[in-house]
Amino acid sequence: MAKRVGVDKWLFGVILLLVLFGLVMVFSTSAVMAKATVGSPYAYVSKQAGYALAGLIALFALMKVDYRRFNNPKVVFPSVAITMLLLLGVFAVRDSHHTHRWFRFGGFFTLQPSEFAKPVLILFLAYFLQTRIHQMDDWKGTILRAATPPVMFIGLILAEPDLGTALVCIGVTMLILYLAGMQIKWLVMAALAASPLLYYMLFRVPWRRARMLAFVNPENDPRGSGFHILQSLIAVGTGGFHGKGLMEGVQKLFYLPEPHTDFIFATICEELGWIGALAVIGLFCVLGYRGLRAAILSTDPFARFLAFGITSAILIQAFFNISVVLALVPTKGITLPLISSGGTSLFITLAGLGVLLNITREID
């Protein structure tokens, strides 16, 4: 195929729109809370803007770096090792809200190692599977070796605990293995093998069991385990078709938990209505279409797996976040990519999209 002169402009435009819209919504959802708790309405949005700027610089830089430079064991295996060390190291620092998810550097900068796990496992799988497309029946030499680093990452992320990010990693891993040609029977066997652990984590861990029960009937405990779901649905429902208007939402005023992170989509529904919500979903659909198009049209297996992994990770995470807000799945802590407040997530996502944009240079 002829080499494209520039990157995919549709994809590039959608990325910028989502980032800018995210900054607007982070300010809208956090201004009152930040003023009351920190003393400045710009506390959260200024921090998010800093990460957005750093992420866009990374995007522009990686957009110009040939993706083939990452197809190198000197890049892949050190990345896996460093990520493993970060995932282990986070357990050595003081926990926050009974979780070990962040390294904190002062009061401004935080680092979430689990966010690095997603692009690194995509990179590893793309590198490892590119030459083994015709060996996917070899469970010991191919499937087991391919699954080992992702399983180790996922195990450490579950131990933090961070079930939401772990589910994203599981979904991406299984989709890339399936794209590489792994038979459905191996996926079914893996699911059956993991089902006892999943059952234990969902129904034997008290606070997760409470969330599962609240998902079935949140009215049973409206001030406890059902609080998140009910407040989210109130925000979604009161927005109606047109919404109350930007900055005019009520649920974010100390009713809706985490309005600028996990439940930012609920405020979008309340302030911008279903028009705004569908517009956001539409932007993610365009991003997904252009990303998957790049994967399908790539003749290089490494590029195909890389593009597919980066795109599917964003889509899976967006699906989970929106589904939680709409009470379609039980509540779990997971951000809306490119929109929710969360510095590491935003930076890593934009960096990954920079690689994806570079891949689009190679297709017609």
Reported as a single tens digit per residue, the pLDDT across 214-253 is 888 888 888 887 888 999 999 999 999 999 999 999 999 8
Bond into 161 cis (ω within 30)? yes
**Which of 277, 232, 234 lies closest to 257, judged by CA?**
232
Ramachandran bin of 247, using left for φ above 0, alpha for ψ from -120 to 50, beta for the remaining angles: left
Our count of domains for the chain comes to: 1
Range of the domain at 165: 9-360
**Residue 1 confidence (pLDDT):** 45
Q: Is residue 2 included in any domain, yes or no?
A: no
Asked whether residue 338 is assigned to any structural domain, the reply reads yes
- Indicate the SS3 state at residue 96: strand
Cβ atoms within 10 Å of 245's Cβ, excluding its own = 12
The reported pLDDT for the residue numbered 201 is 84
Using alpha carbons, select from 348, 323, 317 the residue that is nearest to residue 335: 317
CB 289 within 8 A of CB 315: no
Structure tokens at 35: 């003023």
Q: What three-state secondary structure class fits 132?
A: coil
Position 2 confidence tier, pLDDT thresholds 50, 70, 90: very low
Structural domain includes residue 135: yes
| Polymer length in residues for the chain | 364
> What was the pLDDT predicted at 98?
64
pLDDT band, residue 138 (cuts 50/70/90): confident
Helices (runs of H) and strands (runs of E) counted in the chain: 12, 2
What is the distance between the alpha carbons of residues 107 and 163, in angstroms, rounded to a whole number?
Answer: 26
In a domain, 234, yes or no: yes
The answer to whether residue 4 sits within a structural domain is no
Higher-confidence position of 105 and 306: 306
* CB contact at 8 A, 338 and 24: no
Burial zone of 39 (CB within 10 Å; 0-12 exposed, 13-18 middle, 19+ buried): exposed
d(CA 296, CA 257): 40
What radius of gyration, in Å, describes the C-alpha atoms of the chain?
20
